[in-house]
Structures are given as structure tokens and as C-alpha cells.
Amino acid sequence: AQSVTQLGSHVSVSEGALVLLRCNYSSSVPPYLFWYVQYPNQGLQLLLKYTSAATLVKGINGFEAEFKKSETSFHLTKPSAHMSDAAEYFCAVSDQEGAQKLVFGQGTRLTINP
């Protein structure tokens, strides 16, 4: 079965600093990979997705993620953090059974310090 591991349940950075949220996946076949963001008291919102077209994927709000097959990683980055980036971030991978649904990681809560 597919699985996703997000390293670090909480990440804290200063405003203007680099944001790096880590995601590793296990998959025996090339997967679809996603990052979703959940702002306080809201549902999840798609940030970006990888579907094998390009290894560097750009998303909304200045975020991007790089697919590294050799490392089975799909880390999320943003060069300069903004206060509005404070949220919980989920990495997800497509399941193997016909790719009907996604398997989500445990989530990483991002805090931005002024």
C-alpha cells in the first residue's frame, strides 16, 4: 500500500525566511503527488500536484515542490515566508488501486514568527 511520511509535525520559521516542509513517499510505481493546505477552520485546498510532466512543480502563493525519484521525496518550499502562510500542510500520494483516491500524510503545522 502507498504511504506518505511528513518529517516534523510542527515547523516554525521567521517571516521572510525559507520554508521547507519535508515529504517522503513509498511507491513501487510512479505516483501522483500532491500538497494540500488547510487554513484555520477551513477545509483543505490544493496547493500543487506532480503528475510526471516536470520534476519542479509550481503552486499557488509562491510555493513549489521538487520530485526526486532517487530520494522518493517531494519536499515543499517557499523562498520567503509570509504571516499568511501559517496553516497545516498535507502531502498526499495516489493509491495504487486504480488511483481513485489519495493517501494523506500526517500533516505539518507551519508557524510564522514575526
Partner 1 sequence: NAGVTQTPKFRVLKTGQSMTLLCAQDMNHEYMYWYRQDPGMGLRLIHYSVGEGTTAKGEVPDGYNVSRLKKQNFLLGLESAAPSQTSVYFCASSYRRMVDTEAFFGQGTRLTVV
For residues 99 and 18, give the distance between their C-alpha atoms in angstroms, rounded to a whole number: 33
For residue 104, which amino acid is it?
F
Cβ atoms of residues 21 and 108 within 8 Å: yes
Nearer to partner 1, 24 or 94 (CB): 94
Cβ atoms of residues 107 and 8 within 8 Å: no
Q: Which of 41, 56, 70, 84 binds partner 1 (CB under 8 A)?
A: 41
Q: Does 110 interact with partner 1 (rule: CB under 8 A)?
A: no
Q: Which of 67, 73, 85, 105 binds partner 1 (CB under 8 A)?
A: 105
Q: Does 59 interact with partner 1 (rule: CB under 8 A)?
A: no
N- to C-terminal Cα distance for the chain?
41
Q: Does 106 interact with partner 1 (rule: CB under 8 A)?
A: yes
Q: Does 45 interact with partner 1 (rule: CB under 8 A)?
A: yes
